Amino acid sequence: MGQKVVIIGGVAGGASCAARLRRLDEDAEIVMLERGPYISYANCGLPYHVGEVIKDRDELLLYSPELMHERFGIDVRVNNEVIALDPAAKTVTIKRVQTGETYSETYDKLVISTGSNPLVPPMTGIDHPNVMTLWTVPDTDRVIETLKRTQAKSAVVIGGGFIGLEMAENLHALGLKVSIVEMQNQVMAPLDYEMSQMLHYNLKQNGVDLYLGVGSSSFEDKDGSVQVNLTAGEPLVADLVILSIGVRPNSALAKAAGLELNARGGIVVNGRMQTSDPDIYAVGDVIEVEDFIDKSRTMIPLAGPANKQGRIAADNIAGGNTRYKGSQGSAVAKVFDLTAAGTGHNEKALQRRGMVKDKDYKTLIITQNSHAGYYPGAAPLTIKLTFSPDGKKIFGAQIVGYDMVDKRIDTLAVAIRHGAGIQDLTELDLAYAPPYSSAKDPVNMAGFTAENMLNGYLRLSEWDALEKQPELAVLDVREPEEVAEYSIPGAINIPLGSLRERLGELDKAKAYVVMCALGVRAYNAAKILQANDFADVQVYPSGAYFYEMTH
């Protein structure tokens, strides 16, 4: 028998570490300890099981303890909670959850994959039986049981992050009236405010009530339902309340053992996933990671990084020298009709770093069709890029759209990972056929637009320029029938095809922002104005489509 490796916790990081380690070391004694009843399950699929999209509960269970033992020879012990670890003696103390008895195990190497726990603030009434979180399979069982027991007709979701929005959609699909309460002024924090406005628009279109900029202050029983008291405005009453306000690392074991933690309770690790004790590794939500974009230290609790970290820890325990090179927070979520995705740093993150727009970074917003417009089913997707003023570094990307958002965010995530700049986006050789893309892919178009900005050919206005600069004259170059469907307040309408002949109707002394449906005609119109000595011309990003979504 080779070295003995004890892994605390399963799911993404622990289970991937165990399986990888066995493939690399047939002789290792591997013990996996999990305080709950499941060692490997698809926690990202839990909201979809509640919403009956994933109908069979067993589909969520990736590996049973028996299968893990049969395939990998791993000693899996569920309902066994590690309650203490002693780095000096290299032992862990374990409690059998069902009996309460304790015992100890020695280890040569230890892996901490204890994950994170949902935040449950100490608020009055939070112990109401119909107020719950969704984080584990048993949580899911409780939510489903409560829906059936109460014959729920309404729900309040506290928090507008990934899980909150997915739960809102799935509860809505079951026929419940759903409200979202979010302390910030927007849902989906990885997006900048104007991009999240597209989600707000769509959520309201789907009948979801949004309460933004307010929080929940307490809960009360209301004839078996829950009254949610808010920090502002009238209380809400619902049959079910889902708390989804964030997570904290489950690092109490590591803290008690004297391992180094950061200020937020994340376990500090090096690139090899080693803690301050070189024989103890840590992976997943419980650790602090390097931010790939600016090399700072941060917390990014996502399944993809956790799986990679588990694999790297196993490599190094088996005698390798593999290093984790940072997280860039690539993420995607389905929100009713839309898909929202992001990677790297958004504009808010850059500003938190003290960076100033135009001096330290630039942004662009464009809207393109998901594939060739003449092929049926083309739908708009809106891309926002943040990049350096010299165009040599892309800081981040966000996309909101109806189709094929994931492949574009993944393309941009790869570009960022490998140090691509704006010119590289213009040169990407991407696959094209009418059902899948356009000859100029939206990612290429983001590069072309940024290149035009860097070369001085194009000035994009801010998304809220009409509010910030009331002196701006708005020139709408859409056709009259388009304007009849949706008009911009105070805009001058001259269709692009008539612009050259009607330039005399415009005042060259004024500053103009030009708008069309998505932005292409507006750019052509701006070039006509500039060629005719109009000195101050901007193009509204993504046109009337984006203006309507954000206003």
Task: Dump the DSSP string for 245-307.
Answer: S-EEE--HHHHHTT--B-TTSPBP--TTSB-SSTTEEE-GGGB-EEBTTT--EE----HHHHH
**Alpha carbon separation from 94 to 8, 301, 478 (Å, rounded):** 10, 26, 70
Half-sphere exposure (Cβ direction) of 267: Cα atoms closer than 13 Å: 35
User: 153: which DSSP letter?
Assistant: -
**Measuring CA to CA, which residue among 156, 118, 148, 159 is closest to residue 136?**
118
Please, are residues 51 and 169 in contact by the beta-carbon 8 Å criterion? yes
Q: Measure the N-to-C terminal CA separation of the chain; round to a whole number of Å.
A: 66
The Cα–Cα gap between 110 and 532 comes to 71
**Alpha carbon separation from 442 to 133, 312, 346, 520 (Å, rounded):** 38, 34, 19, 13
Taking CA 550 as the corner, what is the angle to CA 546 and CA 551, rounded to the nearest 5 degrees? 115
Residue type, 403: D
Residue type, 273: M
274 - beta bridge partners? 281
**Alpha carbon separation from 499 to 153, 493, 513, 517, 542 (Å, rounded):** 55, 10, 14, 16, 20
**Alpha carbon separation from 188 to 20, 51, 346, 400 (Å, rounded):** 34, 20, 12, 11
The set of catalytic residues is 44
Please, are residues 8 and 111 in contact by the beta-carbon 8 Å criterion? yes
Give me the residue label for tokens 């209380």.
235
Half-sphere exposure (Cβ direction) of 371: Cα atoms closer than 13 Å: 15
Taking CA 461 as the corner, what is the angle to CA 391 and CA 354, rounded to the nearest 5 degrees? 55
The Cα–Cα gap between 281 and 268 comes to 10
